[in-house]
Structure 1
Amino acid sequence: MATVLSVSGSPSVSSRTQRLLRHLDDRLLAQGHDVVALDVRTVPAEALLGADFGHPAIVEAAELFARADGVVVATPVYKASYSGVLKALLDLLPQYALAGKTVLPLATGGSTAHVLAIDYALRPVLSSMGAAHIVQGWFTLDQDITVRDDGSLAVAARADEALGRVVDQFSAALGHSPVLAAAG
């Protein structure tokens, strides 16, 4: 089984991006992977903004990346790019922190005008960090993600199906054939 680092690049406590990512983590767990969550918003701002490479939280984050076989990176899209808090963390990781790793980029946003942010903003940075394989990512519209009154997540059927496919492709790229859910 592969170890997957699941990175939420959202600065928000009530983030749809983070909730969607944890929903996808459940799918990876069901496929037999070990999933380790990293919410970048929990990394101290003074370490990120002060570029404190030696801060214990930055060192720990770098170690999480080093131990992972694969990395899922999810971000909300702001101003046609990934979040600043994610950028701050990526800047503090070793140059080739993704060397030899399979990476799944995911993004959320309010408009389809931002759909290319994965390919034109996030993917080049992931590639420059040495990712061995960046699988097809997915952009999910905010309107397709609903948090119910009980806190559970509802994802529009077409988005959930597409997300399932990209997660299964990521899982297969890690060398583990996904267990497909029964149609129902």
Structure 2
Amino acid sequence: MPNVVIVSGSPSQVSRLNGLTGYAEEKLRQLGWEVSYLHVASLPAEDLILARWDSPAIIEANKRITEADAIIIASPVYKASFTGVLKTYLDLLPQTGLEGKVILPLFIGGTIAHLLTIDYALKPVLSALYAKHVTSGVYAVDSQVKKLEAGGLELDEELAKRLDRAVTSFAEVAELFKNQQSSIGS
């Protein structure tokens, strides 16, 4: 069973971003994937800020990334970039920490004006970490994710369709890549 780690860069546990990651999780589980989360903001702040490479929490987080077949990088957009807590964690990954991983970016922001954040802010960082397989990401606007009175989140139809296509394509590419790596290793 392939596995994916959803790396959430949201500083808040209650975020519209959860609408995107929850949708991706549900779709991947339907496709037979094992899904786990790494909420970067739950890592010890002192370890992140002081770049403690040898912290048990950072070592464990990096191990989860190493063992994953694929990674979803999710973040709200603040001031035309992904969150600082996500960047701080990415700085603590080994130089080749994303080598051989298929990556799906999922971003959400207050306005369409930051649509290119994935291409101009995130992709250069992923490239520096040797990520060569970054699939087409999804950028959503806050207004496309409605908070329900009874709790939970609801995605508008257009966003759900885009997420469905992106997650399905991501899963196909990741499984193909995994099968290619397995045949090379045999």
TM-score band (shorter)?
Answer: over 0.9
Q: Give, as a single letter, the amino acid of the residue that structure 1 aligns with 2:37.
A: A
Aligned residue number for residue 105 of structure 2: 105
TM-score by length of 1: 0.92
Aligned residue number for residue 8 of structure 2: 8
Give me the whole-angstrom Cα distance separating, in 2, the residues matched to 1:67 and 1:146.
34
Query: 1:126-153: per-residue Cα shift (whole Å, max 9, x none)?
Result: 1221113100011000000112122222
Answer 1 or 2: which has greater helix percent.
Answer: 2
Give me the whole-angstrom Cα distance separating, in 1, the residues matched to 2:40 and 2:3.
18
Once the two structures are TM-superposed, the CA of residue 22 in structure 1 deviates from its matched residue by 2.2
Alignment RMSD: 1.1
Aligned residue number for residue 75 of structure 1: 75
Query: 1:50-102: per-residue Cα shift (whole Å, max 9, x none)?
Result: 11111111011100100001000000111111100000000011011110010
Q: Give, as a single letter, the amino acid of the residue that structure 1 aligns with 2:18.
A: Q
1:129 correspondence with 2:129: yes
* Structure 2 residues not aligned, in runs of 5+: 177-186
The within-5 A match list for 1:18-167 is 18-167=18-167
Number of equivalences: 176
Give me the whole-angstrom Cα distance separating, in 1, the residues matched to 2:4 and 2:59.
18
Structure 1 segments (4+ residues) deviating >6 Å:
none
Asked whether the equivalents of residues 5 and 68 of structure 1 are also in contact (C-alpha less than 8 Å), the reply is yes
Asked whether the equivalents of residues 7 and 39 of structure 1 are also in contact (C-alpha less than 8 Å), the reply is yes
* Structure 1 residues not aligned, in runs of 5+: 177-184
Q: Secondary structure at the match of 1:174?
A: helix
Aligned residue number for residue 175 of structure 2: 175
Q: Give, as a single letter, the amino acid of the residue that structure 2 aligns with 1:138.
A: V
TM-score by length of 2: 0.91
Q: Give, as a single letter, the amino acid of the residue that structure 1 aligns with 2:87.
A: K
Asked whether the equivalents of residues 127 and 134 of structure 1 are also in contact (C-alpha less than 8 Å), the reply is no
